[in-house]
């Protein structure tokens, strides 16, 4: 479903959304992907616990977010 929306057109040109996404997805979904920032659908971040801790972090625990 090609869209005439300038934000979607710019996101396609910049590589934020893929041609396949542009052809198949609805305009509202494409705007959401463009807003997130990358073609895979989200901004990638790594969560790193403070040193000295073992295992995976519990929900709500203190972690550094490295982008």
* Domain interval for residue 26: 1-51+60-67
pLDDT at res. 43: 55
CA-to-CA distance for 62 and 66, rounded, in angstroms? 13
Q: How far apart are CA 47 and CA 61, in angstroms?
A: 11
Answer yes or no: is pLDDT of 15 > 60: yes
| DSSP classification of residue 11 | H
Rounded CA gap, 31 and 56, in Å? 34
CB 33 within 8 A of CB 15: no
Number of domains in the chain: 1
Q: pTM of the entire structure?
A: 0.52
Task: Report which of residues 17 and 65 the model is more confident about.
Answer: 17
């Amino acid at each position: 479903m090609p869209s005439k929306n300038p934000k979607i057109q710019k996101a396609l040109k910049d590589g934020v959304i893929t041609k396949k996404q542009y052809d198949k997805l609805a305009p509202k979904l494409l705007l959401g992907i463009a807003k997130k920032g990358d073609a895979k659908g989200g901004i990638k971040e790594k969560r790193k616990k403070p040193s000295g801790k073992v295992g995976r972090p519990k929900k709500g625990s203190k972690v550094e977010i490295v982008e």
